[in-house]
Every structure is written in C-alpha cells, then in structure tokens.
Amino acid sequence: MVEKRIVLKSATELAKMRRAGRIVAEVLAALREMIRPGLTTAALEARAVELATRLGGIPSFKGYNGFPAALCVSVNDEVVHGIPGSRRLLEGDIVSLDFGAIYEGYHGDGAITVPVGSVSAEAARLLRVTEEALALGIAAAREGNRLLAIGRAIQEHVEAAGFSVVRDLVGHGIGRAMHEPPQVPNYVAGFTYNPRLRRGMTLAIEPMVNVGGFEVRTLLDGWTVVTKDGSLSAHFEHTVVITEGEPEIMTRL
Ligand code: MG
C-alpha cells in the first residue's frame, strides 16, 4: 500500500485545530445531556448543527461523500454512520454520536457512546471497555513510538475483555482534510505501514468495539454500518496531536 506523506502541523495550524476540537467537544457534551428515552435522533442532528454554527464552526460530515446529515447517530448494533431521522431512542439503548467540525479550514472529529436510561450490565461494560481502549490508544500515541502501538494497545484491551475490534473501519490523520494519511487501525494484523510518531502529527483515534464478532455489513441505505451478528457496538473518538510528552487531546472539554 502506498502511503502519502503525513503532514506535521505548525503552531498556527494547531491553534485552529484546537478551536475545531473544542467545538466538537462542546457539541458532544450538549448532545450527551439531551439523551433520554423518547428523543428522536433528528433532534440530536438539529441541536448539533445549531450549536456548532453558533460556536463558529462548520459541520463537516454533511455532504461528505454524499452523507446526508451533520451528525452520525448509531443505535445498538449500528456501529457507525447511522443517519438521524424519526427513530426514537428507547430505555436500554446505547447510542453512538460522531461529529466533525471545521474552524478556519481545520478539522476536529470526535465520538462518544451514551446509555439511554439504564442499560444492561453488558452494554455498560462495552461502553467502559471501549472508552478505556481509546484512553490506552491515546497513551500509546507518543513521539518515538510507532503508529501500530496505538492499535496494539486498543486491541489487547478489547480482546482481554472478550469483545472484538472492528476491522473494516479505522482512525485517520486529520487536519486540513477530515481524512489524511496515515490510517490509524485499532488492531495490528495485516498492517505493514508503521512509521514513528513525531510531534505535530494530528490523529483521530477511534476504536469501534463489538460485543460479538468483528464482522460488519452496510445497510441498504448505503451508510449505516451494523454488526453482522446483531451484537451491540460502541465507538469513542478523539482528535489528538503528538507532542514531546503526553498527547494533547483536542476534542475534550
Ligand atoms: Mg473519525
């Protein structure tokens, strides 16, 4: 596989990415507060657009490769790229919210999975393990480490918990474009491109974790990715920059 050059960001660029990331963080925090049984997924979309715009950001997903919304809302066995609409959240659901924003030409990208009311012990454990896996992946994203250290840390934690890491979708470099080199896999098998991480690299790290098998399929709407076995799936994502020390998380309040 040919990998194009990884762009290192200047201080000026990082300042813009910080603003974009802050907008994503504020939107996701506001949406988390709204989650309750009976809410439509379209109401989450409307709030995301309204708040991001008020904060000076441009939602980045709408129209991206033709995606019809600004927010991805993926419920239960939906992994990613769910399209908001008339569906109402139910007590016991888990809902993944993925949002991206642009500020002065620079992107931020983040995701959280939220319980709707009280959820099963298994669903709660899935959310905890996936969020922990993201934290471990971020902790591995240090200057001098290699890229696949991120996926190794994520995969080890997820599989030790008895869950599986989605293979068909990966994290990515981010900056002037939402998707830049390199791909940031959440597992290591089959990947040979493994550069050293350098300060100024900006990555969207985003484990997608299934209770059952790792296999996924896409629904007939052309977007919604679901687990093949119908098991629950969770997704947490942060945009980070590699520094001389701990990575800086740009999509956290
Ligand atoms: Mg992403």
Q: How far apart are CA 156 and CA 122, in angstroms?
A: 19
Mean model confidence pLDDT for the chain: 97
**Helices 121-139 & 148-160 angle (0-180, nearest 10):** 160
What fold is seen in the domain 11-249?
Creatine Amidinohydrolase (3.90.230)
The pLDDT tens digits of the residues spanning 115-163 come to 999 999 999 999 999 999 999 999 999 999 999 999 999 999 999 999 9
- The CA 226 to ligand 1 mean position distance, Å, reads 17
- The CA 148 to ligand 1 mean position distance, Å, reads 17
Q: To 10 degrees, the CA torsion angle through 151, 112, 201, 1?
A: 50
Cβ atoms within 10 Å, residue 229: 14
Per-residue DSSP letters for 22-67? HHHHHHHHHHHHH--TT-BHHHHHHHHHHHHHHTT-EESSTTGGG-
Structural domain boundaries in the chain: 11-249
pLDDT-derived band at 1 (thresholds 50, 70, 90) equals: very low
Q: How far apart are CA 43 and CA 86, in angstroms?
A: 9
For tokens 């599989």, what's the residue? Answer: 159
- The CA 12 to ligand 1 mean position distance, Å, reads 22
The pLDDT tens digits of the residues spanning 69-123 come to 999 999 999 999 999 999 999 999 999 999 999 999 999 999 999 999 999 999 9
Q: How far apart are CA 233 and CA 78, in angstroms?
A: 7
Residues 6+ apart with CB under 8 A from 11: none
Reading the block at residue 133, the tokens are 């896996």
- The CA 184 to ligand 1 mean position distance, Å, reads 10
**Phi then psi dihedrals of residue 47, to 5 deg:** -65, -40
Shortest CA distance to 37 belongs to which of 85, 87, 74? 87
Q: What is the pLDDT of residue 190?
A: 87
Shortest CA distance to 197 belongs to which of 158, 253, 139? 139
Q: Residue 2 pLDDT > 80, yes or no?
A: no
- The CA 108 to ligand 1 mean position distance, Å, reads 9
Q: What is the pLDDT of residue 100?
A: 98
Q: What is the pLDDT of residue 3?
A: 56
Q: How far apart are CA 63 and CA 40, in angstroms?
A: 21
Mean local confidence (pLDDT), 215-230 = 98
- The CA 173 to ligand 1 mean position distance, Å, reads 9
